[in-house]
Structure 1
Amino acid sequence: MKYLNKFYDLSQTTSQEFDDFLSSLKDNQLIMVLNHFYKSEFIKNIKSTLVKFPYIPLEAEDIYVEFLQLYLSEVKKYKSYEKNVKFLNYFLNICKFFTLNKIRYWLRKKRIHNSLMLSTDELIYVLDEDSGNKMNENIESIDVENFYKSLSQKDKGIIEYLKVQEGKKIKLLTPRKLEQFRVNFLEKFNNYFTFAK
């Protein structure tokens, strides 16, 4: 923690000693210093930039952490005698450029779509009745096929016989047997489609 106090004392001056001290810090020490003294300024700076782009999926904390991982070498390059600018301003300018680069990355067409800009209230649904009717017909034919597959061989034989005899006088079935088959068939049909849903 001595380096925090030393950093604070030296940062008040613009001297070669501060520059040397800054470049001598290890990465984890520099991260501690930046977190301790400048994190709130940096987060505030990022948030003020991100407010202009609400549809970009970035958070200020994420940008800050990524900055600390990638740009410590840039922070260590600070030279007070060359730049003639305070360390805080130098640091915030680097952070701002880093944030703008992140925003530029997310604004590329391949990463962001215009659909993110639309609210769901503005979407209009157009019904295609023809395709809806075709879909219903396909579903009905599939249901009938599945129902036919579920019938017993005896029922299938009677149905085939009735198809052949259509329009002719039915000789093998009495009216009572025919009515009983019709009632049983309708009951199976209703049960199948009631429970199939």
Structure 2
Amino acid sequence: MSSGSDTVHSNRTNAILGALLGTLLFVQTVRIIDESFSAPESSHSEAAHKADAKDTAKSEQSSAAEAESFNKALASASVERGAGLVKQCQICHNTEEGAGKKIGPDLYGVVNRPIASVEGFNYSAALKSKAGGKWTFAELNKWLNDPKAYAKGTSMSFTGLKSETKRADLVAYLNTLSKSPAPLPK
């Protein structure tokens, strides 16, 4: 008979120990989750902030170098070659004053025009997020290099011009599509 009571006693002990271990496991899980949401500022987050600041500084230096390089290319750009390159743009965009939109907004007066600002054109959310800026030479260079990287989620299907010289030629031509073109860099 002792084996029967030993079994009951053993089952009861196992049940109590199981409940205790389960409770401890639950409490520890809650603590881990709580710490992950309310971790105080630590040296790790300070290091991450410093790394982000360094990345931002490198990115700004890289952008400045890219802009300088593009300005040099723009100073020697060929409007004639740009006129040839714009033909691929004209599949989706008008380039003549007052011609209005096609699939994309018109490109007449695009240089220094506010981004996502053509009245009546339904821009993608990606491009609307850039509103507030202008289509400067530098911004057009970034856009024409890789529209999908410039505005992730853009609906423009153009894959970009990888040649800086071709981008400069095209931007120089687009600059002529205005009553008062912007002065090109010297």
> Could you tell me the TM-score, scaled by structure 2's length?
0.27
Flag the structure with higher helix content: 1
> Could you tell me the TM-score, scaled by structure 1's length?
0.26
Larger Rg: 1
